[in-house]
């Protein structure tokens, strides 16, 4: 039996793009555009992607949508609930992480926005797009969700209520055991969101 996965995305493109990757790997995948329809999902579905269409919403509305989606998904039999972020960190990232954590009753969120195959890298806690700091890209000038800086911890901290920690790439590259130790250290510091 495959582990069931639920994904909460903030826009149509991200929802479908993520769903397609699971579908190509043989998972029965469905994209839901109405949070209320989560309850009607067939139990045979391996992956459910929920599009909250909240990227351009007011942060309080984005929080509520993420909360409601996570709350409903948490009642289903999913082993993993994954909050899909825009890799250029646009939208209500912090508000939505808070919403997913609160609605799903999660104590910890791991945030890993790097996507090297698409030119998205996280170095020293900063996000880069094709080796250019995020704040210096055209994406940063998004008229609806502009980006003021590249330091991920600041971007998320400005938008959420939870304590945010950071584990640098050098610690990730030291292997699984070291990464687990660093995560434990951040948890002991009472960090609820850990950026890797």
pLDDT digits (tens, 9 = 90+) for 31-67: 999 999 999 998 899 999 999 999 999 999 999 999 9
Q: What is the pLDDT of residues 104-137, one digit of tens each?
A: 999 999 999 999 999 999 999 999 999 999 999 9
Domains, the chain, with CATH or none: 5-195 (3.40.50.10840)
What global pTM score does this model have? 0.93
Exposure letters 17-37 (e unless 16+ CB within 10 A, then b): ebbeebbeeebebebbeebee
């Amino acid at each position: 039996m495959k582990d069931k996965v639920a994904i909460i995305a903030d826009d149509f493109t991200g929802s479908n793009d993520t769903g397609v990757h699971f579908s190509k790997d043989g998972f029965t995948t469905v994209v839901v555009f109405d949070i209320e329809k989560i309850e009607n999902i067939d139990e045979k579905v391996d992956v459910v992607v929920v599009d909250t269409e909240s990227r351009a919403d007011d942060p309080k509305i984005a929080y509520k949508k993420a909360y409601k989606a996570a709350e409903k998904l948490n009642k289903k039999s999913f082993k993993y609930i994954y909050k899909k972020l825009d890799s250029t960190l646009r939208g209500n990232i912090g508000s939505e992480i808070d919403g997913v954590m609160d609605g799903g009753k999660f104590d910890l969120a791991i945030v890993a926005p790097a996507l090297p195959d698409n030119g998205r890298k996280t170095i020293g806690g900063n996000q880069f797009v094709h080796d250019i700091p995020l704040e210096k890209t055209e994406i940063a000038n998004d008229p609806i969700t502009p980006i003021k800086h590249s330091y991920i911890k600041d971007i998320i901290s400005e938008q959420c209520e939870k304590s945010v920690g950071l584990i640098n790439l050098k610690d990730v590259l030291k292997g699984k055991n070291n990464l687990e130790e660093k995560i434990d250290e951040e948890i002991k510091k009472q960090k609820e969101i850990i950026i890797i």
